[in-house]
């Protein structure tokens, strides 16, 4: 007999930004997501908060990251640890500046029942073009396998196996959160909800005028723009051998994609482009709230 499913919905929010907490509480209420929990984010402005961070220059694609990016990573990692400690089957993770499709509760309910079929499912649209495999179904929900890194970690579902893998891999790391979380590998079973049902407000360029009048300044503006003290400019790109190796990989992958990869992907029913948002989400955007 199957055991009862243990799952939690959690959003990450800084104590010093209560505006975003209020925003998310209203957002969950609008779409019928009950029993959500707030995780107090690690604050990059706290001098002691990152004293024992696991960021290591050169362990990934980055030689240096601003304190805000490291704090973001460590906050998400703490949520993964919570999922493992609590022996959850799945954990649904949101950042605190996302808008949700009206059918998100139904989507989540279906997907958490099938956690053995994935490590992570990205729920949001992201801010760059995605490389995805052919449409498939998990619990009747349309998804595509993610085949390359994709920006934004505004909303995702993580299975128990996924949480354990992430914790093991992030004992040291050298990437931004989204590059690390959505980095393809043979044993990383990651998918994109297709169409997406979540969007960070910063990725809704065509709809920002509508929401400018609805959202508080602290929800619309990124801390990375406002708090320059924790967002160092002119970050080090590392020593020359490290930079040359990265450039060699970039050129190699670019040539493969241009002359072979894109054509093959599309022939196999794959997708390359911006992830579309669900029609239910679009309907919501068209309604004055």
Domain boundaries, the chain: 7-238+273-286
Average pLDDT for residues 73-100, to the nearest whole number? 96
Distance from C-alpha of 67 to C-alpha of 46, rounded to nearest angstrom: 10
Alpha carbon dihedral 197, 164, 83, 125, in 10-degree steps, equals -10
Tell me what pLDDT residue 212 has.
52
Enclosing H/E stretch for 11 = strand 7-13
Q: Provide the percentage of residues in the chain whose pLDDT is more than 90.
A: 78
Contact assessment for residue 9 and residue 35, using Cβ atoms and an 8 Å cutoff = yes
pLDDT tens-digit series, residues 19-64: 999 999 999 999 999 899 999 999 999 989 899 999 999 999 999 9
Give Rg (Cα) of the chain. Answer: 19
Tell me what pLDDT residue 206 has.
53
Is the Cα torsion angle 4, 77, 180, 20 positive or negative in sign?
positive
Confidence of residue 1 (pLDDT cuts 50, 70, 90): very low
Alpha carbon dihedral 14, 153, 186, 82, in 10-degree steps, equals 30
pTM over 0.95: no
Average pLDDT for residues 162-178, to the nearest whole number? 97
7-238+273-286 in CATH: which number?
3.90.550
Task: Tell how strand 98-100 and strand 141-146 pair up.
Answer: unpaired
pLDDT tens-digit series, residues 109-147: 999 999 999 999 999 998 899 999 999 999 999 999 999
pLDDT > 90? residue 160:
yes
Average pLDDT for residues 183-188, to the nearest whole number? 94
């Amino acid at each position: 007999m199957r055991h009862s499913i243990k799952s939690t919905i959690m959003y990450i929010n800084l104590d010093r930004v209560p505006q975003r907490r209020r925003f998310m509480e209203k957002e969950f209420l609008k779409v019928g997501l009950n029993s959500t929990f707030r995780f107090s984010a690690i604050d990059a402005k706290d001098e002691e908060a990152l004293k024992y961070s696991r960021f290591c220059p050169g362990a990934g694609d980055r030689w240096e990251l601003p304190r805000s990016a490291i704090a973001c990573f460590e906050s998400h990692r703490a949520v993964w640890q919570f999922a493992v400690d609590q022996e959850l089957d799945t954990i649904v993770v949101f950042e605190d500046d996302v808008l949700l499709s009206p059918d998100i509760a139904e989507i989540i309910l279906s997907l958490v029942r099938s956690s053995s079929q994935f490590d992570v499912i990205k729920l949001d649209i992201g801010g760059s073009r995605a490389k995805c495999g052919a449409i498939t179904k998990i619990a009747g929900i349309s998804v595509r396998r993610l085949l390359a890194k994709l920006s934004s970690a505004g909303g995702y579902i993580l299975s128990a196996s996924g949480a354990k893998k992430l914790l093991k891999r992030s004992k040291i790391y050298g990437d931004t959160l989204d590059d690390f979380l959505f980095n393809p590998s043979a044993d990383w079973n990651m998918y994109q909800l297709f169409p997406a049902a979540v969007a960070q407000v910063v990725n809704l360029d065509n709809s920002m005028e509508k929401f400018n009048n609805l959202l508080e300044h602290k929800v619309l503006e990124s801390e990375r723009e406002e708090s320059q003290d924790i967002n160092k400019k002119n970050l080090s790109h590392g020593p020359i051998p490290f930079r040359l190796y990265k450039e060699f990989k970039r050129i190699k992958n670019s040539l493969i994609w241009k002359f072979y990869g894109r054509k093959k992907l599309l022939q196999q029913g794959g997708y390359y482009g911006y992830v579309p948002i669900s029609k239910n989400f679009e309907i919501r955007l068209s309604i004055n709230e």
